[in-house]
Structure 1
């Protein structure tokens, strides 16, 4: 199997978790991490915000010879249906290509790379890519394309897909895809003895879950982001003035760093609590909660956390509260 450096993204409901890199192989059906004996993360600068996620790694190889490895970056799984609130669309600058739904970009030692795209369709944990392609259906598409392609199915083909739980609807009528789509980007690079810098950025797929029962203020879910009494009091004060929030959740997996040699030499987390230009909200600003680290304020909308020889024992979770 190939050695992989993988940043694993896991979709939690409508919200993705983004992840640190780890040496891994990529067998059919999932990512299996492999430990690295001679490549360590000397520094990681992680910036989490509702408008962009950016992670800059400085890797150090103590191997005597250069190592060529394959780099893999899975995007989160997203619903393939073009007819749901959680469906995705093409990002600006993609030329209408829906496959790069996070606007993913990567550079190595300041040189931009064009990665290879791998595409998957998942029904639960089952890889159904081959079945979807054999039926002549797109793995992900806009509403118009899906209508045209699904209309070409014969009655027998449509009946079989419905029976398999891959589509919903009445054979011969409108059908809706039920699988999740995932894009995985891959490239190869050489780790020479010494330092290698990798810079990855993308637009987070946040989702806008409803806060039924105030689960983003109290209870187990709120505790997972270290929501405290001070934040609850600030929320209550704004609501008393007639402002109410929508919440966006962003998760980032850091524990895969344990697969590298030693701890993260220097870990710098910045939370950008500014409001993206195209998101309507009041002038009262964006509130947030984060766990497991407690950042300190760096500027008007920036908060930071720094640690040396960092060994993450819990993944990062951030709630952003946007008020009308």
Structure 2
């Protein structure tokens, strides 16, 4: 696989992703089993169109599905959300951390609002440990005040059990008041919204989603140090396709910050795109719009045929598109 990067006025870097470029998530068909949702492929329904709009303030996805058979098709539709892992040393926005629908997810189908159901499971060291938390009445969302309070009240034997299972870790420190400890969630939460629907024979079905994304970030640029690649550089080059041009821009931003210029930090946004391949055939017409919000910000992602369409927006279009990799976007954000 050959990869290359293209710089658009030092505001965006794009690179080839396999033969056809591409986590929030695409709709996918699903089966309801005793273990929860199992994603399946369908030979009956085609995703005729998809317009994906990504920004740090909102994710908007508009689909047109088509049933080309001569019979109505009933199905369960699932929308997997990004994994949320506790214990990350970063600033992450999760909307309302005390609400089950913490990202404000909404569904409109053919101009009618759908009330989807929410499935949530947690894993630690690759093992489903949902029932362990439920038994102790610990909320599943790692970043929640209710979760933090529930963990503080765990009996010592349960705390030891959770620690052995990799559900939590213990941070011990002395902040001038003697030794203290914090119980840090270490589990991963996996969520999926789902609903039942009918695809009428030979008719299009329009589905739209809106929600506030969870955005990760740091207080500095971690892939570069004193103008040179830092330890994180190789991972960033793979995940976000940062190239020499992007590195030169980042180096200039570091120098400018020492002379009174804005201090740049990182933010990340991911989207699960590969579930779009579960429908019959490729996506007929695919359009991706990235909005960086602030003209002073920079953005890098792995994609191809990206074009600048406005002061803060970039767009990619493709016909007969089969997503083969998920989408990860790096924003460099200008501080005050």
TM-score class, shorter-chain normalisation, is 0.7 to 0.9
Structure 2 counterparts to residues 33-112 of structure 1, below 5 A: 33-80=39-86, 85=90, 90-91=95-96, 97-112=98-113
Cα distance in 2 for partners of 1:162, 1:227 equals: 37
Between 107-116 and 237-246, report the one with greater CA deviation. 237-246
| Counterparts in 2 of 1:253 and 1:184: CA distance versus 1, 3 Å | closer
For 1:161, the equivalent position in structure 2 comes to: 162
* 1:200 correspondence with 2:209: yes
Q: Does residue 1:252 correspond to 2:278, yes or no? A: no
Per-residue deviation at 1:221? 2.3
The question of whether the paired residues in 1 share the 8 Å contact of 2:40 and 2:278 is answered with yes
TM-score (norm 2): 0.75
Distance in 2, matches of 1:322 and 1:263, equals 35
Q: Is the 8 A contact 1:79 1:87 kept in 2?
A: no
1:1-324 equivalent positions in 2, closer than 5 A: 17-25=23-31, 27=33, 32-80=38-86, 85=90, 90-91=95-96, 97-140=98-141, 145-146=146-147, 148-150=149-151, 152-169=153-170, 175-193=183-201, 194-209=203-218, 211-214=221-224, 219-242=234-257, 243-275=262-294, 285-324=296-335
**C-alpha distance in structure 1 between counterparts of 2:277 and 2:145, whole Å:** 45
Distance 1:154 1:224 in 2: 41
Partners in 1 of 2:268 and 2:233 — Cα distance?
A: 15
Task: Tell me the residue number matched to 1:4.
Answer: none
CA contact (8 A) 1:166 1:178 kept: yes
Following the alignment from structure 2 to structure 1, what is the Cα–Cα distance between the partners of residues 141 and 75? 29
- CA drift at 1:212: 3.0
Whether the 8 Å contact between 2:274 and 2:326 is mirrored in structure 1 is yes
Task: Using CA pairs under 8 Å that are at least 6 residues apart, name the structure with larger relative contact order, 1 or 2.
Answer: 2
Q: How many residues align?
A: 293
Distance of 2:104 and 2:273 partners within structure 1: 21
- CA deviation digits over 1:240-267, x for unaligned, max 9? 4323321222232333322221211111
Contact 2:236–2:242 (Cα < 8 Å) also in 1: no
Distance 1:86 1:26 in 2: 35
Q: Structure 1's 320 and 174: CA in aligned 2 closer, same or farther, altered over 3 A?
A: closer
Q: Which is worse superposed, 152-161 or 120-129?
A: 152-161
Matches of 2:253 and 2:145, distance apart in 1:
42
Provide the alpha-carbon RMSD of the alignment. Answer: 3.1
The CA distance in 2 between the partners of 1:312 and 1:288, in whole Å, is: 21
Alpha-carbon offset, residue 138 of structure 1: 2.6
- Gaps of at least 5 residues in structure 2 are 1-22, 172-180
Once structures 1 and 2 are overlaid, which stretch shifts more, 304-313 or 142-151? Answer: 142-151
Q: Distance in 2 between matches of 1:85 and 1:234?
A: 23
